[in-house]
């Protein structure tokens, strides 16, 4: 049976590897399980089993942090997990963005100019504002990332705050899209516009890119809130 002091030794070792706390909790469980198995099956002491498990994880947890403030780039294991999570969130955000494009095209074809104009305004405005609403509603949970700024609580926290950097730009593009919605609708209907087509296309691409980032942030926020509930009990050890 592993003692509380030995559990603390395991936690401190994993904390020294700068693991995000939600991942550290999972790796900690693996360490404890493997150590228990080795003690039982090979009749090893805690110290011997611990060293053997550390050796098994050595390659994945070897620090490669070069002293920069980016604590995310710590070891191959975390980089792989972070890349996988980012790809998953980006794929999900892309699906919602494609759905948005489809709704805009359909609305341009079936609505008159005024309805289309305000439909687009409400659609893009909601995507820009919603992450802010989630942030305010769960302010205390998001503040934990700032309170424990020496640690990464979850790899989702970076994407959770992404919307703050684009909020002003998103609102500007939404306003421009509103002003040029007649030309956008005309382009969708006939492929023609009174303005330079490149100008309108850049407006559309810019607005949808910012929408993609907003969706990415919303998805990251949802996962951050879920993971932070798992992390909270562990914070007493930090």
Supply the pTM of this predicted model.
0.84
Residues 194-206, buried b or exposed e (16+ Cβ, 10 A)? eeeeeebeebbeb
pLDDT at 65: 47
- pLDDT tens across 109-123, in order? 999 999 999 999 999
Spans of the chain below 50 pLDDT:
65-72
Res 63: pLDDT: 62
The per-residue pLDDT for 71 is: 44
């Amino acid at each position: 049976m592993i003692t509380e002091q030995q559990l603390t030794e395991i936690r401190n070792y994993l904390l020294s590897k700068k693991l995000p706390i939600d991942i550290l909790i999972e790796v900690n469980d693996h360490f404890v399980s493997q150590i228990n198995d080795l003690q039982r099956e090979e009749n090893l002491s805690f110290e011997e089993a611990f060293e053997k498990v550390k050796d098994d994880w050595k390659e994945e947890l070897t620090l490669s942090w070069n002293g920069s403030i980016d604590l995310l780039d710590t070891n191959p294991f975390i980089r792989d997990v972070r890349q996988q999570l980012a790809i998953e969130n980006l794929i999900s955000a892309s699906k919602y963005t494609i759905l948005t494009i489809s709704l805009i095209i359909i609305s341009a074809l079936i609505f008159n100019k005024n309805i289309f104009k305000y439909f687009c305004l409400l659609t893009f405005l909601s995507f820009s504002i919603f992450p802010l609403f989630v942030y305010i509603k769960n302010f205390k949970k998001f503040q934990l990332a700032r309170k424990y700024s020496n640690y990464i609580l979850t790899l989702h926290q970076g994407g959770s705050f992404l919307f703050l950097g684009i909020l002003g730009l998103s609102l500007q593009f939404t306003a421009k899209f509103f002003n040029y919605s007649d030309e956008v609708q005309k382009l969708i209907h006939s492929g023609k516009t009174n303005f330079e087509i490149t100008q309108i296309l850049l407006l559309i691409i810019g607005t949808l890119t910012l929408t993609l980032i907003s969706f990415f942030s919303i998805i990251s926020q949802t996962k951050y809130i879920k993971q932070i509930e798992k992390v909270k009990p562990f914070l007493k050890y930090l």
